[in-house]
Structure 1
Amino acid sequence: MKLTHSIAFAIALAGLAACGPSDSYNASGSAGAALLEVAEQGDLNALDQLLAKHRQPDVRDSCDWTPLMKAALYGHTPVVARLLDAGASVDAMDKGGYTAMMLAASNNHAEALDLLLKRGAMVDHQESTEGWTALIWAAKQGHARSVETLLRHRADRTLKDFKGKTALDWASEGGYAEALSLLQAADQAQSSVR
């Protein structure tokens, strides 16, 4: 069963893989390409130098990824913070509707995820390819730290993806005991409030 999920996940992310590491840019000029590159690498000093000169934190590559998305994907929390301070759009979306917050959650970068949520990221945003939320994606991968962070920020556990599955369904099917336990505890806490 896990193999089937792994294959489905790999297929779903095929489009994202082409947009991963910086190799071709649609960004305007070399400054835009450099900003995307240093955000991906997590080079805070180079980022500061580029932002001091150009102040355009939302440049995009050919897949519509921003420097904030690249920094979040790789868990470069100080770079995420600096880009947000420079005015980067916290909820900018790529071609599939993925945001920096979703990319941080999908890679279990809980510190970057928490920062993005504190800065106003839409916790329940659903991307357009599978209907996944950050909570679904984190649960599907068994990323307990991200699941815990999202639940603290009141992520909606009842949202379903395009297959009709919730985060709890995915954690259960994947056999991710810690993520499943967190989701079940949140459900029980919600039930006792009613």
Structure 2
Amino acid sequence: MKQRLMWFVKDSESLYASLGRHLLAAAHEGKTCYVQRLLEAGADPNFCAAGKWTPLHRASARGHAAVVCLLLRCGACPNATTACGFTPLHMAACSDACGACVRQLLGAGAIADMWARTGQSPLHVAAARGNVPAVRALVAAGASRCARDDAGRMPCDMAQSCVLRRMLLPPCLAAACRAAPSCSSDSCHTRSCTCE
């Protein structure tokens, strides 16, 4: 009897891992129908791979909004962290696809001001990537524009354009920046902004 039980446990563990690995791959590729089938078959929406990446991290990083929505509806944790402390919101902020994943994660309870081990919030990441839709969604959700990472940088310090930098300036510095004549309104120029 004990031997049968051990076989069942071992077989169940391999099934769990197999479903989890397939779910990670389907989420990474944005295959919503496969994700749905795997979840219906018992795959854990919070399965962790090496580095503690979950299917939600993978889908968020690739901007697969439909998969993100499905995983959240099935109980995926919006605040799960990787080994480096990145949340799905950090991953969505990296994705250039759209702001939809960011909005979905925030709507599901993702914490806008969670810091990775680098001290960077999702707003730092979105600013560094120049992801305007993510920046807008995070600022609207109340993400701190004054937060500093481990190197002492605020999100506005990481912005790649003056337009984005102005969006991210803490309110106390915004008036001074609006008065600065050297900031052009186009987002492509390489000239340094004097509003820092």
User: TM-score range with shorter-chain normalisation?
Assistant: 0.7 to 0.9
Q: Could you say what the CA RMSD is over the residues aligned between the two structures, in angstroms?
A: 2.1
Per-residue CA deviations over 1:49-82 (Å, capped at 9, x if unaligned) read 1111114111111111000000000000110010
Rounded to whole Å, the distance in 2 between the matches of 1:180 and 1:189 is 11
Please tell me the residue identity of whatever aligns with 1:49.
Answer: R
Mapped pair 1:38 → 2:26: yes
Unaligned runs of at least 5 residues, structure 2: 1-13, 176-196
On the 8 A contact 2:19/2:43 being kept in 1, the answer is no
Cα offsets for 1:4-40 (capped at 9, x unmatched): xxxxxxxxxxxxxxxxxxxxxx994211110000000
Gaps of 5+ in 1: 1-25
Give 2:168's aligned residue. 183
- 2:129 — aligned with what? 141
TM-score, normalised relative to structure 2: 0.77
Provide the residue aligned with 2:70 in structure 1.
82
SS in 2 for 1:58: coil
8 Å CA contact 2:64–2:101 kept in 1: the answer is yes
SS of residue paired to 2:41: helix
How many aligned residue pairs are there?
161
1:190 Cα deviation from its structure 2 partner? 8.7
Query: Runs in 1 of length 4+ with deviation above 6 angstroms?
Result: none
Higher Cα radius of gyration: 2
Higher relative contact order (CA 8 A, sep 6+): 1
Q: How does 1:5-16 map to 2 (within 5 A)?
A: none
Identity %: 29
What code does the residue aligned with 1:110 have? G
1:106 paired to 2:90: no
Shift of 1:96: 0.2
